[in-house]
Structure 1
């Protein structure tokens, strides 16, 4: 009986020892790989920004191309570039700003209860934007957008020409919609349909939307419409809601209006 008890005790000790050793190795690997993971995450972010802007070049590295992109922080409450004093008060640096984290911080965000067409619940008071300049003038601007589809929050970038109205490119880099249906937001052919579309109507309202059944070329508002996703009504509706929200008065609308009317310093 004693021998049997000793055997069980030894088995437990060996199992616990193995668990401890494995946990140490896993923890060490996680810590050691963290810098590499962060570097890859940042590289992927840059690649998606450049892709939306139509700037990827296989002959150049992503970092090399991204040197021509200027990252600025916008105060969405004022509709202007954030001042250094505002950034200092909020503890924000453009190079490391995490908008997802800021949206969860009550001191850096607002609740959207009662007015949340994009389904994001909270909106950060600040957002990074990405400028590509020709001399002192903006050539194109890339804006981060996100909102809820059918199954997931979809994160993407929209690039606009320097009229701050015409779409250069649009795409999602993080989504979990139904493959073959809502997941077609990743289809290059569908993303190509956005190029040349106009966000705003003559009254300055963000009216760009997905058209159920496809765009009718005879429609006088066809320049504001993109073919909807076949069989994915809720995802299509989510895309419409999120782009209209982020390009509207609660998102980048006032900021883009300011750029059009005042120019950029």
Structure 2
């Protein structure tokens, strides 16, 4: 059995044994003046600065690793959610007019529609020609960059309508959305807009269904000339091509006006080609009617 050590508090004498001596052999101090010496603990002192630094470092590494693993595990799900959100916004722009007529939320109509059953997505160049091999939704993640690179994502429905993604700047940051056009490539079927940080109660009104409904039925061409749709301060004066600007949100309204004009302008080759094709398709029928009238005479 290991011997214990006792130290005399008076003279410092060290005694080894199972108990302190009755008296100190050096100074004669009684046993009560002896203190047992405990063996030093091996390893780090939990109260030392070194221990605290090492413990903190280990905990930071463990937490960072867990967060990284969680992020990787959720990355796929987040990407799927973002993709689904974009698809829902595109469909909502298409059915906004129907929802307004039926006085139901657009989400209710969209819930009954499958994106892939309705939409065909593609990417166009500046002349309106398809670009093969591009990921449409990847381009939507940086639409200003895609526009600058001459790549223009577009969504066409199987019944002849078109959805154009739009992007611009509001008062405090980016604004974006989708504009759906009817088969005439002129009349707005619906619009969905969002923002990063417009002023609550003012500029952020652009993201409300009530304000977006004001765009339904507006036209982007006037006598064949592209004019887009303008948000006018003080109230719309042209019922076909203007919308009331947001009260107290002039800068945001100006941003929306600029966003619609500059974004839709990129798609004019596509829109004008479709308008020309529709006119050409209608022409033979008109000629046939004239010929029939002449024959009858």
Q: How would you bin the TM-score normalised by the shorter chain? A: 0.7 to 0.9
State which of 131, 148, 151 in structure 1 corresponds to 2:156.
131
SS state of the match for residue 180, structure 2? strand
State which of 74, 93, 96 in structure 1 corresponds to 2:135.
93
2:288 aligned residue = none
Moved more, 154-163 or 206-215: 206-215
If you compute each CA radius of gyration, which structure gives the higher value, 1 or 2? 2
1:224 aligned residue = 241
CA 1:123–1:22 in structure 2 vs 1: closer, same or farther (change >3 Å)?
A: same
CA 1:148–1:191 in structure 2 vs 1: closer, same or farther (change >3 Å)?
A: same
Could you give the per-residue CA deviations for residues 68-100 of structure 1, whole angstroms, max 9, x where no partner exists?
A: 11111111x2123x1xxx434xxx234x53244
State which of 167, 183, 195 in structure 2 corresponds to 1:162.
183
What TM-score results when the alignment is normalised by the length of structure 2?
0.70
SS state of the match for residue 14, structure 1? helix
1:73 aligned residue = 123
Is residue 173 of structure 1 aligned with residue 198 of structure 2?
no
Is residue 28 of structure 1 aligned with residue 69 of structure 2?
yes
2:165 aligned residue = 144
What TM-score results when the alignment is normalised by the length of structure 1?
0.77
Provide the aligned C-alpha RMSD in A: 2.5
Kept in 2: contact 1:182–1:235 (CA 8 A): yes
Could you give the per-residue CA deviations for residues 127-158 of structure 1, whole angstroms, max 9, x where no partner exists?
A: 21111113xxx1x1111001011111101000
State which of 44, 50, 69 in structure 2 corresponds to 1:9.
50
Higher relative contact order (CA 8 A, sep 6+): 1
Structure 1 position 173, deviation (Å): 3.1
CA distance in 2, matches of 1:188, 1:22: 42
Is residue 58 of structure 1 aligned with residue 108 of structure 2?
yes
State which of 244, 252, 276 in structure 2 corresponds to 1:261.
276
Q: Give ranges in structure 2 of 5+ residues lacking alignment.
A: 1-43, 97-105, 279-297
CA distance in 1, matches of 2:183, 2:200: 34
The number of residues matched between the two structures is 227
Q: Give ranges in structure 1 of 5+ residues lacking alignment.
A: 110-121
Moved more, 199-208 or 58-67: 58-67
